[in-house]
Structure 1
């Protein structure tokens, strides 16, 4: 009888663990949206709970303070980006450095299109000497740069990317991937083009792809279009 009880309890425990993971993911997504809209100082845990229709104590049960919640939200966002990279351009893949970069920046672009709040979330922390910016740069962004920079340098040595400081190239690409999430509303007012329209999204990334990674000596594309 004891064995049967264990068998019944394990699926129940796994289901509870899965629900807890889904609850935390929902909280973190809502936190990113709240921090993006109101900034750290203006955001509140209660408002985040209201976005989800949850009781305030449920959030503080998982995240004891607003600062802990902000850091968890930042880690959550970048973990999703890294997971996308590991899927489309794993570090042990046979892709060339240039092809990996194209996949990685395309993944970042798709994430910012799906979750435009992410770009605004990061922009809210752009003030100098902001302790949260320093923390996220050192804890979350630095490991990602350790992955990207060698690929940029390798592609530059092959003559496939412009010779520039790799950090400048990276932040140029970050700006390009965030264009629709940052300027989508303005673009719609000035031109009628919607940054949420699939055709506009594909056309924009095709433009970035061809402009930055495009064709090289010999007229051959480095890789098939990422769209």
Structure 2
């Protein structure tokens, strides 16, 4: 449920400039990311997000309208960040086998360094992707990744390295899932199997296992 919207939020703040607006939006999204990641959409409160950002809560309503729209903006920024980081890998410029290794390693380390990404996705899945369905940019933001991976697979096939018929979307989902499931469940898995899956050694073993698993699938 949304927090009630104050009645006096329709007018722009006095002295608003494009630079101030961009900084304010960024501060709100940063604060909201932490709050949503910690408490989920249902548990997060506008007052708490405003306090984190050091802003009057009326600014949150002015820029985003309600809590659901703010959550959508947080999700869009989260996807924008990971897609931007993936582009820096420049997978189209390196050997196909090394590119697959690099993508698996990147995905693993990104999830490790950004646990908020996993918790935000968990929260959105509880809401059956209702907020992402309202996004006008989420598909355009993510489609280039699959196109790039498709081209990578074709380069590997043409070079006689990869087998044909690999669906790039299915492959990416599998790479993400191998990291996502382990990291999202490592606390319970550690207890259930009596093994510390959070140790540096265990995490290194996991990355090696995932890399071998994915390469074992795509290599001829």
Determine helix, strand or coil for the equivalent of 1:126.
helix
Q: Identify if the C-alpha distance between structure 1 residues 45 and 150 changes in structure 2 by more than 3 Å, giving closer, same or farther.
A: farther
Count residues in correspondence. 198
Q: Which shows bigger deviation, 52-61 or 183-192?
A: 52-61
The CA distance in 1 between the partners of 2:156 and 2:176, in whole Å, is 18
Does structure 2 conserve the Cα–Cα contact (< 8 Å) formed by 1:36 and 1:122?
no
CA offset at residue 104 of structure 1?
2.8
After superposition, the C-alpha distances for 1:50-106 in whole angstroms (9 at most, x for unaligned) are: 45565434544554432332232223222322332233x226x53033422332332
Task: Report the counterpart of residue 65 of structure 1 in structure 2.
Answer: 66
Q: Identify if the C-alpha distance between structure 1 residues 33 and 176 changes in structure 2 by more than 3 Å, giving closer, same or farther.
A: farther
- Gaps of at least 5 residues in structure 2 are 1-18
Q: Identify if the C-alpha distance between structure 1 residues 171 and 51 changes in structure 2 by more than 3 Å, giving closer, same or farther.
A: same
After superposition, the C-alpha distances for 1:26-56 in whole angstroms (9 at most, x for unaligned) are: 5434423433454434433223234556543
Let me know the Cα RMSD of the aligned residues: 3.6
Q: Identify if the C-alpha distance between structure 1 residues 33 and 90 changes in structure 2 by more than 3 Å, giving closer, same or farther.
A: same
Task: Report the counterpart of residue 114 of structure 2 in structure 1.
Answer: 115
Task: Report the counterpart of residue 100 of structure 1 in structure 2.
Answer: 99
Matches within 5 A, 1:45-194: 45-51=46-52, 55-60=56-61, 62-87=63-88, 89-90=89-90, 94-126=93-125, 130-134=129-133, 135=135, 137-156=138-157, 158-160=160-162, 163-190=165-192, 191-194=194-197
The CA distance in 1 between the partners of 2:75 and 2:124, in whole Å, is 11
The CA distance in 1 between the partners of 2:150 and 2:162, in whole Å, is 14
Q: Identify if the C-alpha distance between structure 1 residues 100 and 52 changes in structure 2 by more than 3 Å, giving closer, same or farther.
A: same
CA offset at residue 212 of structure 1?
1.6
- Length-normalised TM-score, structure 2: 0.68
Determine helix, strand or coil for the equivalent of 1:193.
coil
Task: Report the counterpart of residue 14 of structure 1 in structure 2.
Answer: none
Does structure 2 conserve the Cα–Cα contact (< 8 Å) formed by 1:102 and 1:209?
yes
Determine helix, strand or coil for the equivalent of 1:160.
coil
Does structure 2 conserve the Cα–Cα contact (< 8 Å) formed by 1:34 and 1:48?
yes
Does structure 1 conserve the Cα–Cα contact (< 8 Å) formed by 2:72 and 2:132?
no
After superposition, the C-alpha distances for 1:88-132 in whole angstroms (9 at most, x for unaligned) are: x226x5303342233233222212111222122113223686442
- Gaps of at least 5 residues in structure 1 are 1-16, 218-227
